[in-house]
Amino acid sequence: MAGSTTLNASLKWLLVFMSSCFLVSCGAPQHNVPKGAASTEQLEAFLENYPALDVEEELNKFLYMSPDMKTFADTYVRRKGATGRRLIEVHNAINHPSTGMSYRADAHYSAEGAFSAGEANCLSYSALFIAMSRYVNLRVSFQEVDLPPSWSLGEKDLLLRFRHVNIVATLATGRKKIVDFRMDRFSHFYPSREISDHEALALQFNNLAVDAMFEDDWPTVFKYLHSAIKADPKKVVAWGNLGLALRRINRLELAERAYLKALTLNRRDYSVMSNLANLYRMTGRPDEASILSEKSSRHRQRNPYYHFANAQRDYRDKRFDSALENLKKAKKLQEKEGNFEQLTAFIYWEQGKRKEAIYVMERAYEWETNPRTSELIAKRLKDWQRVLDTGEPAKDLREL
């Protein structure tokens, strides 16, 4: 393996891992378009034009341990001893500065591919960690983390839904430990659940489909989305992205059926609901669109991370008073969230309220449960105190 872990220069509270996404790009209302969903049979017939990959064969490839990987594990990880100790050995071996992984969002590799390239995204890193851990007889599984939708990208017709993947290890005592590619950015506040290998593979197929979508390579898009659905027929993100892809090629009746399928699997997936509302507007059904939009809007107003996302946008645009108002709304809905306090502190610092910034950042430190994040907050506090004492400028995040 080559490369080293790099720190992103953006604020510590930003979560940057994108494992899969819904993208929606809504144009002007079209005329002479179908006003009704295709049947399930029609959608299935369309997908059969793009044969799915062999799921079991692809799963074996996804978690394959090459001879070099086995030699590496045998060298750095003992086979016996406390499971917690051996878990640390796997982590240290993969993340050692001389052999550690660097992050790249589009590094959609298998475990072997990530090992060879020395770079990974959250999913390929998790595949590598899990393959190596299982080789040394540790109990590990994938975990999917549901990050809030991002409404803060400045596009009225663009909605991103983020998924993050990390690892859950079960120790001999039964205690569970979380391993994350970027533990400094891990938060316990976001909903998460353990997922099967097949579900993780479905996310991998979905990622590859999204990459192909950006290249307008539609046969590849539908091959991978079909494969994702075969790997996990209940994966809402795959059905949602299928709806997007079909919409992009103007198969609106099929897109509607895909969105409706996604909502049958999770009727509270408000990103799918929002995308379907946009499709209804495009097809001349404003009443149906309004019903869905109203539901989605009510959900957003109850979601603290929606207000947090708006605060992030305001902060980037230097609208500090508006950012603080959005943070006030977020805090009413979610108490003791360190990310909210960190952003508040950064705003106060930008406004010249240095003592208030330090006070709020100390509160963020008090509430933080992640040791790595606590360490970074402590460094920031120390640097800010240095600024107050000496009048020298604050350091860049990469210098801390």
Per-residue pLDDT band at 400 (split at 50, 70, 90): low
Q: Is the pLDDT at 363 greater than 80, yes or no?
A: yes
Burial 324-350 (b: 16+ CB within 10 A, else e): bebbeebbebeeebbbbbbbbbbbbbe
pLDDT, mean of residues 36-60: 95
Q: Is the pLDDT at 48 greater than 90, yes or no?
A: yes
Tell me yes or no: is domain 40-299 CATH 1.20.1280.50. Answer: no
pLDDT, mean of residues 55-71: 97
Q: Is the pLDDT at 19 greater than 60, yes or no?
A: no
| Range in 186-195, 273-282, 376-385 with the lowest mean pLDDT | 186-195
Q: Is the pLDDT at 88 greater than 60, yes or no?
A: yes
Please give the residue that has the higher pLDDT: either 347 or 95.
347
Per-residue pLDDT band at 11 (split at 50, 70, 90): very low
pLDDT, mean of residues 13-26: 31
State how far the Cα of 273 lies from the Cα of 149, in Å rounded to an integer: 12
Name the most confidently modeled range: 30-34, 50-54, 118-122, 209-213.
50-54
User: Would you say the CATH fold of 304-399 matches that of 40-299?
Assistant: yes
pLDDT at 146: 75
pLDDT at 62: 98
| CATH code, residues 304-399 | 1.25.40.10
pLDDT at 7: 26
Q: Are 286 and 280 in contact (CB under 8 A)?
A: yes
Please give the residue that has the higher pLDDT: either 383 or 28.
383
Q: Are 337 and 185 in contact (CB under 8 A)?
A: no
With CA atoms as reference, report the closest residue to 344 among 195, 359, 90. 359
Please give the residue that has the higher pLDDT: either 371 or 259.
259
pLDDT, mean of residues 121-146: 95
Q: Is the pLDDT at 237 greater than 50, yes or no?
A: yes
Residue boundaries of the structural domains of the chain:
40-299, 304-399
What is the per-residue pLDDT across 306-334, written as a single tens digit (0 to 9) for each? 899 899 889 999 999 999 999 999 999 99
Task: State the average pLDDT for the chain.
Answer: 84
Q: Is the pLDDT at 31 greater than 70, yes or no?
A: no
Please give the residue that has the higher pLDDT: either 390 or 61.
61
pLDDT at 29: 36
pLDDT, mean of residues 352-362: 96
| Range in 98-102, 113-117, 258-262, 311-315 with the lowest mean pLDDT | 98-102
Please give the residue that has the higher pLDDT: either 197 or 338.
197
pLDDT at 186: 60
Q: Is the pLDDT at 114 greater than 70, yes or no?
A: yes
Question: Residues in the chain, how many?
Answer: 400
pLDDT at 188: 64
Percent of the chain with pLDDT over 90: 63
pLDDT, mean of residues 378-394: 91
pLDDT, mean of residues 103-124: 93
pLDDT at 157: 38
What is the per-residue pLDDT across 279-309, written as a single tens digit (0 to 9) for each? 999 999 999 999 998 988 888 888 888 899 8
